Amino acid sequence: MQIQLSDHFTYGRLLRFVLPSILTLFFTTIYSIVDGVFVSNFVGKTAFAAVNFIMPILMVLASFGVMMGSGGSALVAKLLGEQNKIKANQVFSMIVYTMFMFGIIASITISFFMENIVSFLGADGELLTQATRYGRIAVLGGTAFIFQHIFYCFLIVAEKPKLSFIITVTAGITNVLLDIIFIVILKWGISGAAFATVIGQMVGGFVPLVFFLLPNKTSLRLVKPCLDGSALLKTSTNGISELVSNIAMSVVSMLYNYQLIKFAGDTGVAAYGTIMYTSYIFSTFYMGYSFGRAPIVSYHYGADNTDELKNLFKKDLVIVIFAGILLTAISEILAYPIAHIFASYDPNLFEMIHRGIYIYSFAYLLMGINYAGSSFFTALNNGLISAIISFLRTFAFEIIAVLTLPILFRLDGIWASGVVAEIASFAVTVVCIVALRKKYGYY
């Protein structure tokens, strides 16, 4: 029996509903990492560092899709909870068409200035050449990359998270197969990795576009939009925390790369890329869970069902605390094999990755509470509080940590920066949850 947003959620029902969302993000992350694995093992360390150097730039572009997807889905789910289906579809359509135009303009602009951007971020020599080549090709999939994040959120609102999972797996398989053809067989090097990524993103971004353009049995379909400035503003403010979070993560990643070039050269940048790949995989549970249950919170908030909000809030706490303990333990256990997968050919890089993962693993203990707390306020259409938590967590606290800790602890200080940022963010999240509990009635 299909689970609906209006249902009462037990632990089992909640986990069944969010599982496709978690798996979707997991496989999205896996096929994003595939380029790194193939490039590292078949092209070389400098090319691998170049891919990692470009990734934060691409994530800045994708972050606008995350903002409009998370913020828009919260608004649309709230409208559906208020039984206003016509308005919900108009707002949904306006968001999609607006971001289509934005994606094209942004991709062309970034491609034109790619070499200047990479040079400004500190790359030179062969790293500059490889990063520019990869970036100019990869950014061609910018619109599809944006759509992937938008439709990921709206397929959940449409009560089709399993379809999102199927599309993502298909896109991932496409990416892997093309990596084998372009990199291993045809020897296209870093350019092959970029083309494989773009084509995979097109599968992930444009297939759901076709689904929503055609007649379907869900509550959402692309219709003739009406320009609604207030709805667009509300969408943006709802999702501003996700925009802040993703852009901040990208900016911070650039700062990490800058610091690592000083302390460990190209090897440090390559090691950081692997540690971040691992972090992306482990954090997909928190992100997938948060995105998956957000429309449920928005729906019941729109329906003024405070009993279900209390139910969801309590289950949030239990699930993310248990997950934090489990993921930290798993990360510690897998530190060695992960380092072996990426760097068995280079003992220095291997050791750097192994130690970095071991230190960073402790961030997972509190990461889930911080993710879920920010997402909960987005779902309640309180973008300001969500943005404050995200901004402090992914930008302010982490920048302070990555600039100061290496002075005392050198490379270990860089790996520990994420842990310190999560601890500080946890304190902020708890304060916000306690301060607003009576306003929303979730506790």
Residue type (1 letter), 134: Y
Residue 169 contacts residue 191 (beta carbons within 8 Å): no
What integer pLDDT is reported at residue 75 of this predicted model? 87
- Cα–Cα distance, 189 to 50 (Å, whole number): 12
Domain residue limits, the chain = 11-440
Give me 377's structure tokens.
Answer: 């306020």
- Cα–Cα distance, 151 to 209 (Å, whole number): 8
The C-alpha angle 375, 377, 383, rounded to 5 degrees, equals: 100
Question: Which secondary-structure segment (H or E) carries 270?
Answer: helix 240-302
DSSP secondary structure string for all residues of 79-95: HHHTT-HHHHHHHHHHH
- Cα–Cα distance, 335 to 354 (Å, whole number): 5
Instruction: Tell me the CA distances in angstroms from 406 to 225, 250, 254, 259, 356, one per residue in order.
Output: 51, 20, 16, 9, 13
Helix 45-81 × helix 240-302 angle, to 10°:
30
Please give the chain's pLDDT, 443 residues, in tens: 567 777 888 898 888 888 888 888 787 777 667 767 788 778 887 887 788 778 778 877 888 888 888 888 888 888 888 888 889 899 999 999 999 999 999 999 999 999 998 888 777 788 889 989 999 999 989 999 999 889 988 998 888 888 888 998 898 889 889 989 999 899 998 899 899 989 999 999 999 999 999 888 888 888 888 788 888 888 887 777 667 666 777 677 777 777 777 777 777 777 887 787 788 788 888 988 988 888 888 888 888 888 888 998 999 889 999 999 999 999 989 888 888 877 777 788 888 888 888 898 999 999 989 988 888 888 887 878 887 888 888 778 988 888 888 888 888 888 888 899 999 999 999 999 999 888 888 87
- Alpha helices by DSSP H, listed for 303-436, are 306-343, 347-360, 364-379, 383-391, 397-409, 411-435
Measure the CA dihedral 146/98/91/228, to 10°: 150
What phi and psi, each to the nearest 5 degrees, are found at residue 158?
-75, 5
What integer pLDDT is reported at residue 159 of this predicted model? 83
- Residue 410 — left, alpha, or beta (φ > 0 → left; ψ -120 to 50 → alpha)? left
- Cα–Cα distance, 150 to 96 (Å, whole number): 8
- Cα–Cα distance, 254 to 54 (Å, whole number): 9
Answer positive or negative: Cα dihedral of 316, 205, 253, 380.
Answer: negative
DSSP secondary structure string for all residues of 324-341: HHHHHHHHHHHHHHHHHH
Give me 336's structure tokens.
Answer: 């060695």
- Cα–Cα distance, 334 to 317 (Å, whole number): 26
Pick from 299, 258, 286, 269: which is nearest to 402 by CA? 258
Residue 241 contacts residue 377 (beta carbons within 8 Å): yes
